[in-house]
Amino acid sequence: MAEALTTLFSDVGGVLVENPWITVADRLSATYPLDRALVLRELELLSKDLDRGKTDLRSFNERLSLSVGQKIPQKSFETLLLESSVKRIVPVWNSLSRIKGEGMLKVIALSNMSRQFWSSLERNSTPARSSTRPSCPTSTE
């Protein structure tokens, strides 16, 4: 006899929140004379080290600026990046919130997103909706 499903695991980036690199590429290419496709490709390539905790936002921005040939002010870059990392995919977020809130299933969200993104997501989750508030992951390194 099959056991009942008790837990639902979900990724965060691209499932619960939008892929921030798309928004960042759109905004940077609208602000500076940059090719959107180039910016997006470089963001995705460089993000691997950020997600693994091998670089910080300052180094990330410096490497991005060099690779696209445009100096991007650090403060503006960090603000854009952190704002872009918390755009919820509302239908999915609401559905999982309902499932968890009604006790249908335990919902566990996992991600390899960088600690900076995760902290931004934590700060922007409403405490009143604690059933949907993420908790900071433990590093596996």
Query: Model-level pTM greater than 0.85?
Result: no
Rounded (5°) CA angle 130-133-136: 130
pLDDT digits (tens, 9 = 90+) for 104-138: 899 888 887 777 777 777 777 653 343 444 444 44
Instruction: Render each residue's pLDDT in the chain as its tens digit; 141 residues.
Output: 578 889 989 888 888 888 889 999 999 999 999 999 999 999 999 988 988 889 888 999 999 999 999 999 999 998 888 888 778 889 998 998 898 888 889 988 888 777 777 777 777 765 334 344 444 444 444
> Longest Cα pair distance anywhere in the chain, in angstroms?
61
